[in-house]
Structure 1
Amino acid sequence: MDGIHIVAFAEEADPDGFEFLETLKAVAQDNTENPDLSIIWIDPDDFPLLVPYWEKTFDIDLSAPQIGVVNVTDADSVWMEMDDEEDLPSAEELEDWLEDVLEGEINTEDDDDDDDD
């Protein structure tokens, strides 16, 4: 996935962030044989000055864990929809979403209204 990265934002010190990271680690361990799966984890607490930039650029709320696909060439992104902040995705839901990303069913161009070609 050239120029495309799976990025997870979660605060390790936050109970929801910790739970999300544990789920993410379990999914990553179950998929260690997949050479295409690479997840970048960022703890927003470690970069407080960048939080407003990330929230504006990616149109996300970093007060809760987030995972998405980011195209580094144009900062376009698609983020996993989490229905309820109280209800984080299960390992199975997260794995299904990641499989859809790797198969190209979810990509950063899905939400583009304009034609760049």
Structure 2
Amino acid sequence: LDGTPIVAFAEGDDPDGFEFLETLREVAQDRRDQPDFSILWIDPRDFPGLVPTWEDTFDIDLSRPQLGVVNATDPASSVWLDMEDEEDLPGPEEVLEWLQEVLEGDTGDGEDEDD
């Protein structure tokens, strides 16, 4: 992972946010043997003045949980987990699979980095 910033936005006291944070805890627990693996959790309610900036910069909706691999030099090219289904948040296996794909260069946009 080499220090790649993985960021999660979720409201800890919201039912969906709590469920998603539990999933991320499970993912982190599974990766505890990898010292470079970490997920930065940000509760948007703690930073209300930054919510519009984050939503504009990353083109995300912070009214729902979000997980992304952030490109620190070009934030607009950061990759965010598609969580369109409001009824079903991703489980630990889906999150891990997505993270592995993104960190290996498969952004899911139909373009490979090798092209």
CA distance, structure 2, for counterparts of residue 2 and residue 30 of structure 1: 17
For 1:86, give the aligned amino acid: E
1:34 paired residue number? 34
- Please, which runs of 5 or more residues in structure 2 have no aligned partner? none
TM-score, normalization: structure 2? Answer: 0.84
Aligned to 2:64: 64
The two structures have a TM-score, normalised by structure 1, of: 0.83
Percent identity over the alignment is 67
Quote the residue 2:24 is aligned against: 24
SS at 1:26 equivalent: helix
Query: Given the alignment of the two structures, is residue 73 of structure 1 paired with residue 64 of structure 2, yes or no?
Result: no
Count of residue pairs the alignment pairs up? 110
One-letter amino acid of the counterpart of residue 96, structure 2: E
How big is each residue's C-alpha offset from its partner over 1:83-110, in whole Å with a ceiling of 9 and x where there is no partner?
A: 3022100111011112223333339xx6
Moved more, 43-52 or 94-103: 94-103
Distance in 1, Cα, partners of 2:82 & 2:98: 10
- Quick one: which amino acid aligns to residue 81 of structure 2? M
Q: 1:2 to 1:34 in 2, by over 3 A?
A: closer
- The gaps in structure 1 that reach 5 residues or longer are 112-117
Give the Cα separation in 2 of the matches to 1:29 and 1:102. Answer: 19
Detail structure 1 runs of 4+ shifted over 3 Å in the superposition: 1-4
1:3, 1:73 within 8 Å by CA — same for their partners in 2? no
**In structure 1, C-alpha distance between the alignment counterparts of 2:36 and 2:4, rounded to whole Å:** 11
